[in-house]
Amino acid sequence: MWCTKLARFSSQKFSTRKFHATAARISKWRDCMKGELQNDTKCLRTEESDKVCIYRVPTNLRQVEPKAYTPSIVSIGPCHRGAPRLQKMEILKKNLYRRLFDPNGANASKLDKAFEALEGIEDKVRSCYKEEIALESDEFLKMMLIDGSFVIQLLRDLSEQDGILQTSYLSTRWMLPVIRRDLIMLENQLPFFVLNELFDLTNTDSVSCQQQKQPSKSLKYLSLEFFYPLLQGGSETIPPCEKLDELEVDHFLHLLRYAIVKRSELKLEVEAGDQRYMIRPATELSEAGVKIKPDKNPNRRLLNITFKKRLWLLTRELTIPPLYMNDHRGTVLRNIAAFEKCHKGIKPDVTTYLFFFNGLINSAEDVALLHYKGVLHHSLGCDKEVAQLINNISKEMVLDKKESYLYEVVNAANKYCGNKYARMRAWLVHNYLSGWGVGISTIGAILALYFTLIQTVYGFKDTIKDWGNYRFGSLLLEALIITPLKGVPKSMVSAAERYKGAAGSNNCGDMCREILNMCMEACITE
């Protein structure tokens, strides 16, 4: 009996312990999840803020080409601050800060105003970054002042020297293109209003310009003047300064995107349509009768592509503004596309443009054709490298088919290539006129066939008077085999004479054997 009570007591005690353990575990995970709702302010801040404009590049894009999104020698902003490989440029950044606020210069008295201005916009600047910045307030303000001073003084020095490197700190030729490339990266940005605050505060050019009766250059114009060679090698016209002043841009990358995208000029007021397929490669378009030509208007935007009928209604014309391609311009296009993917306030126009060229170029032959037409220029090693670069840019990018501004161009081009005339023309060109050698051989074969036909007709005319002596089958063999052999080597003529004798006989087997022997002798003679 005591054993039974002891066993019952132990069972009840074990059940009680199990109940308390389960209750404690439930209470623990519930408290943890409630704490997540109260403490996870990072997600709430990023979702609620509409001011975010500087992002980390998505992992899938970075894996395709990491160096296109990572600065090589200089960091701007908090994303790459403190990287060991970038520490050498910190000395140069501090030197330019000293030049801008030189104690013996015109801006010495404005340093305190700069402190106050940056302190007043610190929270606004922090809200521009997608990720929460872990820097303390003092370190963050120090970073803004030094990085902003470096950028502004650099732009002014280059503008005063017309872009020629005469300063000691940029005496190495390779340095300026690399700095320009680093400053355009999405993760390497300062909000534009920070730079504008320092620029307006330290702008001493307006007084000298008023004395010389010349308009002073705005920060947007200096920036565009500095970065525009990344796209067109300085060959394109920079938009007028008065139009730039009306823009609201978030940072340098946003400004450069505007320089190549202007929606009012892209005819985007119409409702976007559905682009289901990529455009055909350039070689296929050319074979189908599409004339590819460059747009020689210097004021035409890079993304303005048109497809229209030519004077002869059976052919079409694809007009594309010239693209100057190298590694640095590939970096710019990648970062703009990443910005379009992350920022919800802009359309994916550059992404659409990259997908268009990705379809237009499938091989080195496509690059060679576009280069010959004056549409694509590059400074890379070979056409194959250019094809790989352009095809690689759009990897891991996703284009919404309903947001393509080129849907009319792509759909019209593909529809034209699908009609009977274009397909027949493409087949003939691809198989018989694909090169000089093949084309000459095809023309020679056509001429040979033509002269053979003429010779057959005139030779057959001589035998019309003998029709009464032949049956229909003999006449047909006479016209197709015997008569064309007239005027050729004697061996073939003798074979033809042997055939005539066989044709006059009534033995069908003898006639077939003589025809076979004649053909074999003709082939051996040839």
- Spatial separation of the C-alpha atoms in residues 96 and 92, rounded to whole Å: 6
What global pTM score does this model have?
A: 0.75
Per-residue 3-state assignment (H helix, E strand, C coil) for 293-324: EECCCCCCCCCCCEEEECCCCCCEEEEECCEE
For helices 111-120 and 137-160, give the axis angle rounded to 10 degrees.
120
Which pLDDT score is estimated for 79? 94
* Integer Cα distance of 457 and 32 in angstroms: 100
Q: Sort strands 376-378 and 323-325 into parallel, antiparallel or unpaired.
A: parallel
DSSP state of 303: T
- The DSSP 8-state label assigned to residue 83 in this structure reads -
Work out the angle at residue 168's Cα, subtended by the Cα atoms of residues 253 and 144, and round it to the nearest 5 degrees.
Answer: 40
Q: What is the pLDDT of residue 473?
A: 57
Phi, psi of 310 (to 5 degrees): -90, 180
pLDDT tens figures, 2-21: 555 445 545 555 455 555 56
* pLDDT 10s digits, 292-333: 999 888 777 788 899 988 766 677 899 999 998 888 899 999
C-alpha separations of 112 from 119, 192, 396 in Å: 11, 21, 47
Low-confidence ranges of the chain (pLDDT < 70): 1-27, 29, 38-49, 161-171, 204-215, 232-243, 263-276, 311-313, 422, 426-445, 447-448, 450-451, 454-526
Q: At what angle do helices 327-342 and 175-183 cross, to 10 degrees?
A: 10
Closest CA to 252 of 227, 270, 273: 227
| Tokens standing for residue 312 | 């002869």
Helices (H) and strands (E) in the chain, counts: 25, 5
CA distance 473 to 483: 14
Are 289 and 314 contacting, i.e. CB atoms less than 8 angstroms apart?
Answer: yes
**245, 251, 252, 257 alpha-carbon torsion, rounded to 10°:** -80
- Altogether, the residues listed in the chain come to a count of 526
Q: Mind giving me the DSSP string for 441-510?
A: HHHHHHHHHHHHHHHHHHHHHTTGGGGGGS-HHHHHHIIIIIGGGTTS-HHHHHHHHHHHHHHHSS-HHH
Amino acid found at 97? Y
Q: Read off the DSSP letter of residue 291.
A: E
User: Do 315 and 289 form a contact (C-beta atoms < 8 A)?
Assistant: yes
pLDDT of 159 reads 81
